[in-house]
Amino acid sequence: MPHATARAARALLAATALVASLLLWAAPAAAEDLSGGRLDWGVKASFRTYITGPIAQGEIQTGDGASTVDGAYRFHSASGSYEDGTAVIDYQGWVYFWGHEGELDVTFANPSVEYSGSSGTLYVYVNGSRTDMASLGGAALDVSGGTASVSGASATLTANGAAAFAGYYEAGQALDPVSFSADVVAAEAPETEEAEESPTAATEDDTVSGAVLDWGVRASWREYVSGDIADGAWATEDGAADGGAVFRFTEGAGTATATDYELSYQGTVAFTGTDVDLAVTDPVVTATAGEGVLSAEVGGERIDLVAFEAELTEADGLLIAEEVPTTLTEAAVPVFGGYYQAGDPMDPILIAVPLTADAVLPPLPDLGSDPVEASPSDTPEATAAAERTEEGANPLVWIVPAALLVVLAAAAAAVAITRRRGRTGPEAAETTVEPAAEPTPADADASAENGRGGPTAPPAAPSAEGSGNDKEK
């Protein structure tokens, strides 16, 4: 019966079309953009000790927003992509090692990682040249909860990386572990942050709003809090943000001219740790004729913390002063337990006051969300389950087998019908479908679309080349 055969063929075609449409629907989305995040890497603990110790008698500096947290260097402002299981991420900031009166002079800048599964590569600009520094492994790339992260990957020096250490380390040597994270950019949130931050224009009577204040308190203080002695941490809240080497206080309002200004900001940065409990809240900067003081609420009292000299200059719709040196006031000595003296240098400040509605505030290094720390509960099964639920993950996992089952069932029906026709009459010749051949290409295409083992685009070069300018001792 030709009708039965045609029905079988139609059923098969319909099933095949269904599979094709399911596969199209289920095909992995284009690369996910990653933006904002941090990479923590201490290079090698013994190297750090050597640099500042009696042999090299040198020093270590960080710059371009990099900071030191718990001995490791924290690089910031991730940008990259996650595609076909591979994360390719660039970070910003540099760390500079100097010693032996300048014989040792090396800058590691703008690290980047390529990582898939449980292994990858760490690249670093060494004195301006991009170098594959270390092979990474032993920790799984976790893409869940809106971040892509790796916690505590082992780092093994490459032959190219070894050259950066003048032959004192050999390829294969263990470096400090690497942890990194980057936020997955939501599909439809391109400019909300800018819109939110859209500053308010100044009025004619010098009243301003929307100003920001960046201040890191003091680098050695942060190192002390996060280091082995205090073994602590800090948190920002109520309008303050952590930029790594600086904290940003926001919603600054008050009056401002170039030389005289009073700006009240919002936000708290709270340091906690062994014998450390210090919250700096709602700072105010006040200056007369360029002589200024920064005060904040500390322990329920408003205390003058640092003094500075700064005139604001007008540029690009902002009144701004950057990298303004500060010194500790007498009143703030007890705030830091007496470890620093009045007049000691504290971290520089940045004051930026928008004068026009379209003025763009200087960007804060973007550390992204707090990465999920690996814990005993983070079993591979738990991670996989989280990926499935949180990402809405890859529907191919169940759709492909289900769809193939549909095709195979239809194919089997078609074969059975065709065989029956074949046995009973010549109409069987109408059946030109070769059912058994159908599922295989679909399957292969699905794998190809899934991209397993496909080539990975090389990461873009960092926008700022490896620094090396700030070589002053």
Residues within the interface to ligand HEM (CB under 6 A):
44, 46-47, 50, 55, 100, 103-104, 106, 165-166, 168-169
* Residue placing its CB nearer to ligand HEM in the complex, 17 or 55: 55
* Residue placing its CB nearer to ligand HEM in the complex, 17 or 166: 166
| Token couple for 121 | 């590569």
- Closest approach, Cβ 180 to ligand HEM, in A, equals 23
- Closest approach, Cβ 105 to ligand HEM, in A, equals 7
- Cβ 261 vs Cβ 353: under 8 Å: yes
**How far is the C-alpha of 239 from the C-alpha of 364, rounded, in Å?**
13
* Residue placing its CB nearer to ligand HEM in the complex, 98 or 234: 98
* Residue placing its CB nearer to ligand HEM in the complex, 168 or 339: 168
- Closest approach, Cβ 222 to ligand HEM, in A, equals 25
* Residue placing its CB nearer to ligand HEM in the complex, 100 or 419: 100
Residue 2, φ and ψ in degrees, nearest 5 = -60, -30
**How far is the C-alpha of 65 from the C-alpha of 181, rounded, in Å?**
17
* Residue placing its CB nearer to ligand HEM in the complex, 50 or 333: 50
Strand spans (E) along 363-457: none
R_g of the chain, CA atoms, integer Å: 30
* Residue placing its CB nearer to ligand HEM in the complex, 164 or 332: 164
- Residue 285 buriedness (CB in 10 A; 0-12 / 13-18 / 19+): buried
- Closest approach, Cβ 54 to ligand HEM, in A, equals 9
Residue 401, φ and ψ in degrees, nearest 5 = -60, -40
- Closest approach, Cβ 46 to ligand HEM, in A, equals 3
* Residue placing its CB nearer to ligand HEM in the complex, 55 or 416: 55
- Closest approach, Cβ 467 to ligand HEM, in A, equals 17
- Count of C-beta atoms within a 10 Å radius of residue 196: 7
- 259 residue type, one letter: T
- Closest approach, Cβ 219 to ligand HEM, in A, equals 23
* Residue placing its CB nearer to ligand HEM in the complex, 55 or 436: 55
- Residue 429 buriedness (CB in 10 A; 0-12 / 13-18 / 19+): exposed
Name residue 40's beta-bridge partners.
74, 179
- Cβ 26 vs Cβ 400: under 8 Å: yes
- Closest approach, Cβ 126 to ligand HEM, in A, equals 10
- Closest approach, Cβ 104 to ligand HEM, in A, equals 4
Name residue 67's beta-bridge partners.
74
Strand spans (E) along 222-362: 233-237, 241-242, 247-256, 261-266, 268-273, 276-288, 291-298, 301-309, 313-315, 318-328, 345-354
